[in-house]
Structure 1
């Protein structure tokens, strides 16, 4: 079972904020997109908003006999 696709949308950021996110992402070995999502989840959690985690993306070759 494949994970549902992620919602794509345009996000306008101040260049300084974007640069800071990219630096933090590089330091934590994440993409800027993954870093923004993590920061948003942390901010929501700090405000008491519970967000369910999605299904993790399955990587690698599927086991034999499993439908793709």
Structure 2
């Protein structure tokens, strides 16, 4: 089952802002993209915008497909 589609969006940021987000992401053991999503969700929550919780993304390697003909 493929993961739910995610919206891709090109974003231009000031280099200093990106560096600050990159440091936060490293401290939280997240990717920069994951940190930005978290920051946006927190900002929306502070403004009273209600979102459905994010669906957890599958972690780890996908299971190997069994080949019946290989045996």
TM over 0.5: yes
Q: CA RMSD in A?
A: 1.5
Which one has a bigger Cα radius of gyration?
A: 2
Residue deviations 1:14-46 (CA, integer Å, cap 9, x gap): 000000000010011000000000000000000
Q: What is the total number of aligned residue pairs between the two structures?
A: 62
Which consecutive segments of 4 or more residues in structure 1 shift more than 2 A?
58-62
> Which blocks of at least 5 consecutive residues in structure 1 are unaligned?
63-68
Pick 1 or 2: higher relative contact order, CA cutoff 8 A, min separation 6. 1
TM-score w.r.t. length of structure 2: 0.77
Cα distance change on mapping 1:25 and 1:32 into 2, 3 Å:
same
Unaligned runs of 5+ in 2: 64-71
